[in-house]
Structure 1
Amino acid sequence: MAKDILLEIGLEEVPARFLRAAMNQLLDKTVKWLDDSRLTHGEAKAFATPRRLAVWIKDVAEKQEDINEEVKGPSRKIAQDETGAWSKAALGFARSQGVDPETFTFRELSGVEYIYAQKSSVGISTESIVAEALRNIITTMTFPKNMRWGTHDFKFVRPIKWIVALWGHDVIDFEITGVHTGRTTRGHRFLGSETEIAEPTLYLEALRNQHVIADIEEREAMISAQIAHLASEKNWHIDVKEDLLEEVLFLVETPTVLYGAFDPAFLNIPQEVLITSMREHQRYFPVLDEAGQLLPYFVTVRSGDNRSLDIIAKGNEKVLRARLSDAKFFYEEDQKVQIDTALAKLENIVFHEEIGTVGDKVRRIRQIADQLAVQLHVTPEQATAVSRAADICKFDLVTQMVYEFPELQGVMGEDYARKAGESEEVSRAIFEHYQPRFAGEASPASLTGALVSIADKLDTIVGCFSIGIIPTGSQDPYALRRQAAGIVQILLEHQLSLTLEQLFDIALNIHQNLRNMKRSYDIIRIELYDFFGLRVKKLLSEHLRYDVVDAVIASGFNHIGSVVARGHDLMKVVQETPDFKLTIESFGRVSNLAAKSSGVAVQPALFIEPAERELYASWQAATTEYRTLLAANRTAEALALLSSLRPAITAFFDQVMVMAEDEAVRENRLALLAAVDQDIRSYADFSKLVK
């Protein structure tokens, strides 16, 4: 008869950021043990609160499944020598399977005779192995940070205070650090008490009676419903960020939503400052009106019931008032500092010991941004704005507000610059140059912000590559992948006529002129191109078939707008034009033979067959316009023009013997195919398409 298993690890309060991963780890390890042990089971579910991790497995079999299987070994020719004695290979196979060689059987498979081992094992009872298994699961769990307590050498995320371990109605007996298993759990620290769990199915209800909601989905639903009710009642928009909701979810055992207020005078401070202070320091949800403007209220979640909420609210208001007073002080003090004074302090902040200070970085950003402006032929007024924005884009890093809240860099720079008399375009660009900061965020709206953003990100990437800091696997300490993806996004969304090679050369030359680069310019350039290629491929793969992505990437991605447009237009034609596979086949025949060309120029005088003259004439009529269309990023028209060569290509292969005996004629025909193939490959490598 199947029984349920319940394991609860009672702990001192665990940091909220550790709990979900720890809960999932406990679940995964328990399920893996059951599966590896051949123990059938039903649904498995994990639970977590600040003071506990738990897992409940339903309908676990009372014993392991019996094993009766046949395992194939080496061939008989390898397993036995001429005398019939077992070889080392056969004996090794027998040891690995735990069987006697004399029990081997022989069977023919595909004309070859192999030895087989018959394995059988009677399953043992779950009860006899579960204690050791659960103890091992707990003691092998890993966490970002561990603690030791008392005189124990054992490390865990927080000290273990109690353990509930049940096999149906029975306690599973083991101990860790002197804590013995039992059926007694603990409720809410203030509202509940100890209670016994008779059997696993009663676990959630027993805790609920002690003011603990162990199921995280139930707890989250309670929080969301209470917030929604409050918002409807007050006609508020309560801004609930997922990361903050996740943290609050693991800070409480019984959630009760409440609200408080703060002095409206604080609204004179930029609302980003107030919101950040509320979220980061107090874990409060800000309250906004319909226009998205901050209201002088906050929403929080207590771990407890709804008694004395007015007292709890007043206590939170008192703490928040102190926090906002600090923010107000920082904000006012920061405005007393001149921008030039702040910039001078950047010379004392090291960006990287091998790359220089933040002041050095700003000078490189200015030069890169200026050259980008030149390449794009912007107006003199625009160029002046780009230079000024680049010069002061990092000045707010030395302000007290950004020191307290690093996530406000750019936000405070924009506000302080505007108050210091900088133009709206320059002020806004200080904020925008950090965009996009993460996947899904918008690019800078202004061209000034876009150019300074590219310059900043490009400087970081080139600087890191120049000293050998290149992302590998999961290691990317300077978020270079994200910054490269940001550059690609900006180039695409602003439709900037800048190629990757232009960007690399501008930045590399500036780094080379302003500092000693330890690595080769050419090697870094190749590495940068490959690195950005992966970002472009990832971007395309979000929307296009893998073979289409491979095809257009193979023809180059130096111009981001071109490769994206080629990819989307090729995808559309492949999906919507059934006979396009014939075009792909004809392009493939051209490419296969073009590879044999020696590189000589086409000589029309050597044409003999009408079909080769026709192909040459068709190509000549199309190539100039095709290249013009491709350069103008009119890729759909370019592909249509390229595809129009198919009839002439088909006739050529039907009527012309390419590999003629006359060497001059043969080379001329191969040269013609090579010329056509050059245009074909400038669009895509069509051989990579799955027909």
Structure 2
Amino acid sequence: MSKDLLVEIGTEEIPARFISDAVNQLATRLTDWLQESKITFAEVLTYSTPRRLAVIVKDVAEKQEDIVEEVRGPSLKIAKDEVGNWTKAAQGFARGQGVSVEKLIVKEIKNVEYVFAIKEYQGQEVEQLLPSVIKGIIQSMTFPKNMRWGNQELRFVRPIRWLLTLFGDKLIPIEITDVKSDFKSYGHRFIGQTVTVPSAEQYKSLLKEQFVIVDPAERKELILKQINDLAAEKDWNVPIDEELLEEVVNLVEYPTVLFGSFKEEFLDIPKEVLITTMKEHQRYFPVEDKAGSLLPYFITVRNGDRRSLELVSKGNEKVLTARLADARFFYLEDQKLEISEAVSKLENVVFQEGLGTIGDKVRRITEVSSQLGNLLKLDENTLKNITRTSEICKFDLVTNMVYEFPELQGLMGEKYSRMHGENEEVSKGIFEHYLPRFSGDSLPETVVGQVVSIADKMDNIVGSFSIGKIPTGSQDPLGLRRQAAGIVQILLEKLNNISLKQLFDLAIEAYEQRGLLKRSKNEILLDLDDFFTLRLKNLMQEKGIRYDVIEAVLETDKNDVKRLVDKALSISTEIDDPTFKNVVDSLTRVMNIATKAEKSDTDPSQYVEDEEMNLYKAFEKLQQNTVNVVDAMEILQQLKALKEPIDAYFNKVMVMVDDDKLRSNRLGLLLSISNYIRQYADFNKLVFA
């Protein structure tokens, strides 16, 4: 027999960003306990609104399964003495397991006999277990931020107002913070009523009657349909920001879409500012025409029905007008600020404690960017644009608009710099130096933006590492992993001629010259190597490259990001070819025997067998053919061509002969070949079925 289990926690309004994780946590804790307790169940359904977290577990068994557990004890030699009596070790083991020694049995594992205690547990009625378990689960839940209320000791995301806990048609009696569980749940705060829920099966439908749609997926679908219907009616285009949509879904219990308007004069403000103001302050969706131009309308979602929608729309318009008036004021005021004046204000803005001001950071970025430009052998005009971009790339941080909307940094810098007469390369570079801002974001398109971007990100990473602020576990408050991933992407797809080592050295030197390193350069370099190695691994995993291929290429020089990834991709195209394993076997045989060599010197005049000379000439030819080759696949094909002379060599030649001179000469040839192979990959890391 089985019953449905329903747990609903009713609260004050929960912040939208906490809801999904919270309800998933409740479901996970419940199902983990059911599994650990040997209680069978079927489907698990999660529901949530701003005022409730709910889980329904379908077909929960009414009784635990009976459990028979075997616990291994000491070996039989220790458990019994010479005459077959139980020893103190056996008696102590049995006592610890709650059984008599007569209940111990003997089993053989890998030719050794052990004693085992057989422990039998009678399954309990689930209904009897649920009250204490559910109470414990609720009280142990964790959240990014907690509250205490009244004189209660419990810390929870928001004050608990009701508890609905049912097993089938029976109430699970629990009490938390003076709130006792009941058959009651609560409808919409303003237009719904209290509802009695007799079973989990009726939970959704009864609450829907009281203007609460408990399924967030259903609310999302309803919002999208209403937006699309409205857009079709008005001949609008409504770009849907998924992040905003998810937030709005978790802000309402009964969504009703409506629209409002604002004065056309506000369209003089940059489109990005208008959209950000609507999204960040009001959670509105912007409206465009079919050509993508912003229209003086917005769409919002009301938490309620369609009554008095016109009044609600007017209220939203009034609030948005005030916000847009502020944005226009900031925009006009910022234009009065000269770039030079803004840059000078950066001297008073702290970058990080111990690392100086933003002004100091700008000087380091300018220095490193100029050196990178020289390494890339860029023309004089581009170098000049790089210098100018680095010098003013942070000026918009002191503007009113970026202070109000930090996410507009770079974008406002681009617009304001263009207004102040900076050229297009510099203006675009100011925006692009923040790219990529998140996983999947676009990369800087101009070389100016690319150079300043990696100089800025490298400065952040080295600065943090220099004072011991290195990301650990899931903690990365400064977003250094994201920035390192951005550097790797730019080096892979844009600036192939810059190595990681060059970047490390330039950024560290900029700090070292100013006496800002709190740790030794070697320590920082080791940490940077480990940190970027993980980023390279992630990059190649995202490209679908096998773990063993990744490990193989990471054993080589990791500084050339493009070459590293190209080698991994080349091996990946060959690794499923059955003949490639034979090639790898030949290459690894050379590598393994070469470990016995002391030096890579070899004298062809001392060769005894034809196969020695043949292998030597094949290797010389490979080196000549690849001296100016950068294509990883072509080099791999050349390596594959070594298989035949290698196999012939080992079929005829005994390497480890007694003659020291002959042995050393043969090992020297193999070490030379091995060193070349290892520059490509450590083929020993590859795994074949």
Q: Residues 477 and 595 of structure 1: is their aligned pair in 2 closer, same or farther, counting only changes over 3 Å?
A: same
Amino acid in structure 2 at the alignment position of 1:135 = K
State the match for 1:490 in structure 2: 490
1:28 is matched with 28
- Aligned residue pairs, count: 687
- Partner of 1:350: helix, strand, or coil? coil
Could you tell me how far apart the structure 1 residues matched to 2:255 and 2:649 are?
Answer: 77
The aligned residue for residue 326 of structure 2 is 326
- For residues 470 and 402 of structure 1, the distance between their equivalents in structure 2, rounded to whole angstroms, comes to 28
Q: In structure 2, what residue type is equivalent to 1:666?
A: R
Instruction: In structure 2, give the amino acid aligned to 1:251.
Output: L
Residue 19 of structure 1 is matched in structure 2 by 19
Partner of residue 527, structure 1: 527
Deviations 1:552-575 (A, max 9, x none): 111221111111111111211223
Asked whether the equivalents of residues 368 and 507 of structure 2 are also in contact (C-alpha less than 8 Å), the reply is yes
Offset at 1:370? 0.2
The reply to whether residue 555 of structure 1 matches residue 552 of structure 2 is: no
- What amino acid maps onto 2:574 in structure 1? V
Quick one: distance in 2 between partners of 1:674 and 1:112?
46
Aligned position for 1:443: 443
Match of 1:50? Answer: 50
Task: Find the aligned partners of 2:478 and 2:453 in 1 and give their Cα distance.
Answer: 16
How many angstroms does 1:201 deviate by? Answer: 1.0
**In structure 1, what is the equivalent of residue 565 of structure 2?**
564
Task: Map 1:59-458 to 2 at 5 A.
Answer: 59-82=59-82, 84-458=84-458
Query: Residue 155 of structure 1 aligns to a residue in which SS?
Result: coil
- Tell me, yes or no, if the aligned pair for 2:238 and 2:287 is still in contact at 8 Å: yes
**Quick one: distance in 2 between partners of 1:88 and 1:624?**
76
**1:4 and 2:4 aligned:** yes
Relative to structure 1, the CA distance from residue 78 to residue 645 in structure 2 (aligned partners, 3 Å threshold; closer, same or farther) is same
Does residue 678 of structure 1 match 2:675? yes
Q: Is the 8 A contact 1:287 1:294 kept in 2?
A: yes
- Structure 2 CA distance for aligned equivalents of residues 109 and 605 of structure 1: 60
Stretch moving more, 82-91 or 532-541: 82-91
Give the counterpart of 2:663 among 662, 666, 670: 666
| Deviation for aligned residue 1:600 | 5.0
C-alpha displacement of 1:36: 2.6
Deviations 1:138-162 (A, max 9, x none): 2121222222222222222111111
**Paired AA for residue 662 in structure 1:** D
1:362-414 deviations in whole A, cap 9, x for unaligned?
00000000000000110100000000000000000000100000000001000
Name 2:619's counterpart in structure 1. 619
Residue pair 2:601, 2:668 contacting (<8 A) in 1 also: yes
Q: CA deviation at 1:293?
A: 2.5
SS at match of 1:442: coil
Partner amino acid for 1:136?
Answer: G
Q: Label 1:606 to 1:409 Cα distance change in 2 as closer, same or farther (>3 A).
A: same
Q: Deviations over 1:391-446 (max 9, x none)?
A: 00000000010000000000100000000100011001000000001111111010
Distance 1:418 1:306 in 2: 46
Is residue 690 of structure 1 aligned with residue 687 of structure 2?
A: yes
Note the C-alpha offset of 1:83: 5.3
The letter for the 2-side match of 1:402 is: V
What is the rounded CA distance, in whole Å, between the counterparts of 2:48 and 2:600 in structure 1?
A: 73
Question: Structure 1 unaligned runs (5+)?
Answer: none
CA distance in 2: counterparts of 1:172 and 1:555, whole angstroms:
62
- Higher mean C-alpha displacement, 56-65 vs 406-415: 56-65
Q: Deviations over 1:117-146 (max 9, x none)?
A: 222222222222222222222212122222
| 2:654 paired with 1:657 | yes
Task: Give the conservation status (yes or no) of the 8 Å contact 1:626–1:642.
Answer: no
State the Cα distance separating 1:295 from its structure 2 match: 1.7
Alignment partner of 1:581 is 2:569 = no
**Structure 1 CA distance, aligned partners of 2:121 and 2:608?**
80
Against the structure 1 CA distance between its residues 393 and 649, is the aligned structure 2 distance closer, same or farther, given a 3 Å change threshold? same
Deviates more, 1:448-457 or 1:290-299: 290-299
Deviations 1:610-637 (A, max 9, x none): 11111112212221332321xxx22222
SS at match of 1:158: coil
Check the 8 A contact 2:618/2:645 in 1, yes or no: yes
Give a deviation string over 1:566-591, Cα, whole Å, max 9, x none. Answer: 1111211223x431222111111111
What displacement does 1:686 show? 1.3
Query: For the Cα contact (< 8 Å) 2:597–2:671, is it kept in 1?
Result: yes
Q: Which amino acid aligns with 1:563?
A: L
Tell me how far apart the structure 2 counterparts of residues 314 and 84 of structure 1 sit (CA, whole Å): 93
Stretch moving more, 20-29 or 419-428: 20-29
Amino acid at match of 2:336: K
For 1:688, give the aligned amino acid.
Answer: K
Instruction: State the distance in 2 between where 1:87 and 1:359 align.
Output: 77
User: Could you tell me how far apart the structure 2 residues matched to 1:662 and 1:126 are?
Assistant: 79
Give the counterpart letter for 1:526 in structure 2. Answer: L
The Cα of 1:514 is off from its aligned counterpart by 2.1
Q: Which residue of 2 aligns with 1:590?
A: 590
Q: Aligned AA for 1:105?
A: I
Matches of 1:338 and 1:15, distance apart in 2: 40
Kept after mapping to 1: 8 A contact 2:75/2:115: yes
Assess, with a 3 A threshold, how the Cα gap between structure 1 residues 659 and 105 changes in structure 2: closer, same or farther. Answer: closer
Q: CA deviation at 1:325?
A: 0.4
- Do the aligned partners of 2:600 and 2:672 also contact (CA within 8 Å) in 1? no
Question: Does the CA-based 8 Å contact 2:259-2:297 persist in structure 1?
Answer: yes
Distance in 1 (CA, whole Å) between partners of 2:567 and 2:334 is 50
Q: d(CA) in 2 for partners of 1:368 and 1:614?
A: 49
Equivalent pairs: percent with the same residue?
51
**Range that drifts further, 301-310 or 385-394:** 301-310
SS class of match (2:575): helix
The code of the aligned residue for 1:188 comes to H
Q: What displacement does 1:92 show?
A: 4.2
Tell me the distance in 1 between the aligned counterparts of 2:527 and 2:627: 28
Aligned to 2:633: 636
The CA distance in 1 between the partners of 2:659 and 2:15, in whole Å, is 81
Q: Assess, with a 3 A threshold, how the Cα gap between structure 1 residues 677 and 427 changes in structure 2: closer, same or farther.
A: same
Relative to structure 2, which stretch is displaced further, 487-496 or 84-93?
Answer: 84-93
User: Alpha carbons of 1:444 and 1:110: their partners in 2 closer, same or farther (altered >3 Å)?
Assistant: closer
Residue identity opposite 2:125 in structure 1: S
CA displacement at 1:84 relative to structure 2: 4.4
Q: Deviation per CA, 1:420-479: give whole Å up to 9, x if none.
A: 100011001000000001111111010000000011011111111112222221122221
Q: 2:288 & 2:503 partners in 1: Cα distance? A: 42
Change (3 A) 1:446 1:77: same
1-side partners of 2:375 and 2:536: how far apart?
Answer: 22
| Greater alpha carbon shift after TM alignment, 265-274 vs 136-145 | 136-145
Pick closer, same or farther for the CA change 1:88–1:305 going to 2, 3 Å: farther
SS in 2 for 1:287: strand
Contact 1:495 1:561 (8 Å CA) reproduced: no
Q: Cα RMSD over matched residues?
A: 1.6
Paired AA for residue 611 in structure 1: E
1:669 Cα shift?
0.9
For residue 119 of structure 2, give the secondary structure of its aligned residue in structure 1.
Answer: strand
1:294 alignment partner AA: L
What letter corresponds to residue 218 of structure 1 in structure 2? Answer: E
State whether residues 397 and 409 of structure 2, in contact with CA within 8 Å, keep that contact through their aligned partners in structure 1: yes
Q: Structure 1 CA distance, aligned partners of 2:102 and 2:508?
A: 71
Q: Give the structure 2 partner of residue 545 of structure 1.
A: 546
Displacement, 1:513? 1.0
Aligned residue for 2:627, secondary structure, equals: helix
Quote how far apart the aligned CAs of 1:648 are.
1.5
The code of the aligned residue for 1:570 comes to: I
